[in-house]
Amino acid sequence: MSVTLASSPQLHSFSNSYITAKFQCADYFQQVGSYAVNSINIAAITAPGTIIEIKYGNNTVTMMSALAPDDSGSQFLCGNGTALPASDVAGSFQSNHQLSTDFDISFSGYNIIFTAKQKTIGFDFISGGTNTTIGKAEIVKPNYRVFFRLFLENNTHTGYDEIYKTYLDIQNGSGGLAIAELGDKIHQKITADIDEYGLEVPGITVLSCMNTARKFYFEFAESFGDTITVKKLLKSNVFNVLHGGLSFQSKSSVNLVSLIAGGSPTEDRFLKQGPKSQYGRIDQPQFLYFFNTRSTKAGAKLLIKRFFSDGSSDSANDLTFNLDQHRKFAFNVSPGNIYNGVKQLDRYEINLIDNAGNRISEKQEYFIKRDGQRYLRYFLNWSSWGSLDSRCFTGVNQPTLEINSSKASRLLQSGYKVTNGEFKVYGKTGTDKFKASTGFNDPDIIKFNKDFFLSNLQFRYIKNTILPIEVTSDSVAKPADSDFLYAQSFEYQYLYSNQNYLENDIEDDFSFSGSSFQPPYTGPILILAGTPANPSKQIIQQQIS
């Protein structure tokens, strides 16, 4: 084949990483080039004063033999009555500026060999030596390129759509190599679909993440001609991609599989960075996402082990599903989804099992924190690993309403109304902005806030509603080496403005049991009746109808 796939993408990749395909072209020359090769035989030169006039192309170089060559670069060493071998003489020719610019100069026996440095015409010796190989220019076939088109699985997993098409040029000096960059095209498409179709937020059942985990393949062929003709199309294998990315440091040393499935199945990670044990609040949304790099597991289950403040425990595995190979699934593991009985939930553990009860994932552990905090605010972000992460910040907020408006001058005439004023105000809007603090925490936990600050999709979670925000801080301080507790300050604003106000607009609410300020309790608090607050069972993604 005239074009082959020299380097494939990895089987599993994050979309916002380097995903490339390299193609090797073998038959792209209309004329194959060659280096001109010439030689001068010095076996008969036994005395000084012998002149050699070398002509090639538009150049003429005159060299004269001498017993002791001067510094002109136009003399070469010779013997006194005997011929010197080329090994002794070649250095004199190598010292000539013009010759050393145009040729690589070597020797063999009594022959000095001149090999042109370029594959082209004009370097064949016309006189002064012998031309043994004619120089020819490399002539690429007209308009030679690699035709390339990329297909991405649609967000219903019912087929593939062409998302990119181009002609790839051969890179200069690469020996026929053409490179296609795929990651940015795939990442932009999936990101656009997130904007259009919304986040993948699991409810009370298992969610198959068809938007942010997809397959792709590509087709390629050589193309050339004065009238460009695409030759036989070749098709790649199918590859898998997850919405997300790696840091600059990690792109050169790790990949998706080494991060999440580098060991035994019991170590396969959820798409979640940070410690496997974490604290949360009773009303805090919590989610886990899992990408299966291994074979399909029919009848897989989400196993939940619950521990209560009275010392008892139980297990639940109500969610049964087919854990398909190379597919991504999401689970709502918020406390309200885990337990809604009368006992007080103290902590719970979560992992996946197959239909025989064997563990097929790592174990994540959540501790319910109930210490008194006056101000609890929940922030969400779409993480670097393509999951919805949750954070609880306890610091004080300073809200500000930033008001913007436009103003036009009125045309005043006799008898004008003072109440109308001299100017007309229009287009007034208000944007809520905040100076916020994370509240104090361990620096080992604080460091994972970096993923939140870098995310393009950031949210406040208030009263079961996700509100879009943007962290507007240019910089966020990090803990010093000596800090064992630290709080980060940052600024953010809602990604919308208001022209009007309604008393029912969603604002910070500290009425949930997990958010109300209470002194530390001395005994277990039991919910004797009713259903505990469960704001995260079905999160609302508001749409304007």
Asked if residue 441 lies in contact with residue 360, where contact means CB atoms within 8 angstroms, the answer is no
pLDDT at 372: 78
Owner of token pair 């393949």: 217
Owner of token pair 């001498």: 66
- Same CATH fold, 256-368 and 3-31+141-251? yes
pLDDT (tens digit per residue) in 422-473: 999 999 999 999 999 999 988 888 999 999 999 999 999 998 889 999 999 9
Owner of token pair 């505990």: 532
Structure tokens at 139: 């002539």
Domain boundaries defined on the chain: 3-31+141-251, 37-137, 256-368, 377-494
User: What is the Cα–Cα distance from 459 to 380, expressed in whole angstroms?
Assistant: 5
Supply φ then ψ for residue 411, to 5 degrees: -85, 105
State whether residue 195 is helix, strand or coil.
helix
User: What is the Cα–Cα distance from 226 to 447, expressed in whole angstroms?
Assistant: 58
User: What is the Cα–Cα distance from 146 to 166, expressed in whole angstroms?
Assistant: 8
CATH of 256-368, one of 1.20.20, 1.10.10, 2.20.25, 2.60.40: 2.60.40
pLDDT (tens digit per residue) in 330-374: 999 999 999 999 999 999 999 999 999 999 999 999 999 988 788
User: What is the Cα–Cα distance from 100 to 73, expressed in whole angstroms?
Assistant: 11
Structure tokens at 305: 């082990």
Positions in the chain whose pLDDT score sits under 70: 1, 511-545
Torsion (CA) 474, 479, 485, 489 in degrees, nearest 10:
-10
Class of domain 3-31+141-251: mainly beta
User: What is the Cα–Cα distance from 469 to 461, expressed in whole angstroms?
Assistant: 10
Asked if residue 239 lies in contact with residue 11, where contact means CB atoms within 8 angstroms, the answer is yes
pLDDT at 514: 55
pLDDT at 374: 86
The amino acid at residue 392 is C
pLDDT at 463: 84
Q: For 83, which DSSP code?
A: P
pTM of the predicted structure, to 2 decimals: 0.83
